[in-house]
Chains A and B, each alone.
Chain A
Amino acid sequence: MGNNLDALTTIFTEFYYWVTVVLMFLIHAGFLMYEVGMSRRRNHIHTLMKNVMLIPLVTVSFFFFGWWIYFAFPNGPFIFEGKGIDYAAATGARPWDPAMGTNLSDHINGVFWAAFLLFSWTAASIVSGAVIERIRSGAFWILAVLIGSVAWIIDASWGWHWDGWMVKILGYHDAYASGVIHAIAGGFALGVLLVLGPRIAKFREDGSARDIPAHNPWMVALGFFMIYTGFWGFYAACNVPIISPEVIGGQITGVTWTGTNIYLAPTTLSAITFNFLMSLSGGLMVAYIVSKGDLLWTFSGGLAGIITASAGNDLYHPIQAMFIGGIGAWAAYKLHYWVEKKFKIDDAVGAVAVHGYAGFIGVVIAGFVLWGQPSSPYEGYAAINPVGQFIGAIIMFFVLGFLPGYICAKLLNAFDLLRIPRKVELEGLDFETNQTFLAAVDEVQRAEKAAV
């Protein structure tokens, strides 16, 4: 820190990211409530533990190698101008580097790492909901590390980095992660679901789907509200709060400091606040109508609305954000039931639709609405365009999402590690725990009655 202004800027930035991380914890608490609310009573504890334990597993793996990937892979490697792994840029992100610990000369690395890590948890948690009530926890945790500490952070390095090859070549723009978090996680979940198969009794003999209702809609609704709240933190964490043109080092002239998106292109917290709320509203309104007031789908539609508009919510007008959110909610609802019917996919919480399809569509829409706008403050980068965004959406959903999920699930299945046995699924994953609980209650009651 050279002078007092630098010091203040650094400490403000450090505190800013720290607050976003705390807010983003609510996303995870929301996912827990949502998943448990959606699951049946005999599966609660396993559902809860499956999601909770992704936190430490993704955290340690993200510390060991995930963070390094972000800085090492912006060129592919070997996709942009034949450049390989960027070892120099990734120095400081290896677990043995001094910047990866208590270090008075670096106030940002830890909080920036944590902001990205919370995105990793979110990506894994999106997959978690889709596969409830029949996946083995051990299999899920391996899949969680794959998406949380490998697949998503590769996509971030490619398309959510000021120097990423997708930004340079394709003009890829995805400021609040329609593609880099949601499309990839939805695609990954779809790949896993294809191998995992539906829950027993999900489909009738004629192939039509049964509704397996949430056991606690109130808990689901509260979970959604917590996810919405944490999403604010997520949005703020996607910005650089304050930076000077000199530090950006791009084409911007003058001395006016600004907030920026992850590509270091200017935006404001005010802009994303307008657009967050308007896209949420568009999603809720359309989802309510299309689902005829269904609780799960109305709340999911709000989420799908934000997710669809997220790619361009740094630049849209609020009314544009509202309409784009509405389109995403409508598409998510329709596609969920079409895919369920056509391919017999049992996505227990609609995660593939709300995150995957809405995220994919959001990336594509941004290509049209933001067509021709600069993707970066640096010279020589492609402008935002529909073709680049479409290719980007394919990379996110299929290449880095669906394929790794499908291949890893196939491997786990080959070793009989993916799905719990039929008997256990029917008993419920918590059967043993519940029997122990009932026996303990019975014993305590007997003892107390004997003492009366």
Chain B
Amino acid sequence: MPSTNGMTSWAVDLKDVAAIYPFQGSEFIMFILGLAFWIGWHILQLRVEATEVEHEMSADESGEKTRAAIDRY
């Protein structure tokens, strides 16, 4: 049976073994995917925060609760 890291048993001399993570050879693709995840996160986060700020802007138009919040420090 094949294995995702190429090893099917530990009948080896450890001095001859290096990387043992799965899907070796696809590190660069994983890096690109990871990069996309990280950049995508910033884009999504900015959207989430924009919605939040929009809600905050439309809240407490009289300013009464805001003054109470300032009083509470």
Contacts and interface: CB of A to CB of B under 8 A. Distances in A.
A372 B34 contact: no
B31 A293 contact: no
Given A372-B1, A383-B3, A254 B13 contact: yes
Given A285-B41, A292-B48, A372-B4, A320 B30 contact: yes
Nearest to B49: A293
B51 to A, nearest CB: 8
Interface stretch (A36-44, A98-106, A311-319): A311-319
Interface residues of B, number: 34
Nearest to A292: B48
Given A319-B31, A322-B34, A369 B14 contact: no
Given A254-B12, A377-B10, 8 more contacts: A253-B12, A256-B15, A266-B14, A289-B44, A317-B30, A319-B31, A326-B37, A383-B1
Interface in B10-35: 10-17, 20-23, 27, 30-31, 33-34
B55 to A, nearest CB: 10
Contacts of B51: 292
Contacts of B54: none
B22 A370 contact: yes
B3 A319 contact: no
Contacts of B34: 319, 322-323
Interface in A100-140: none
A265 B10 contact: yes
B5 interface: yes
A398 interface: no
A67 to B, nearest CB: 28
Contact of B45 (A288, A373, A379, A383): A288
Contact of B7 (A250, A326, A374): A374
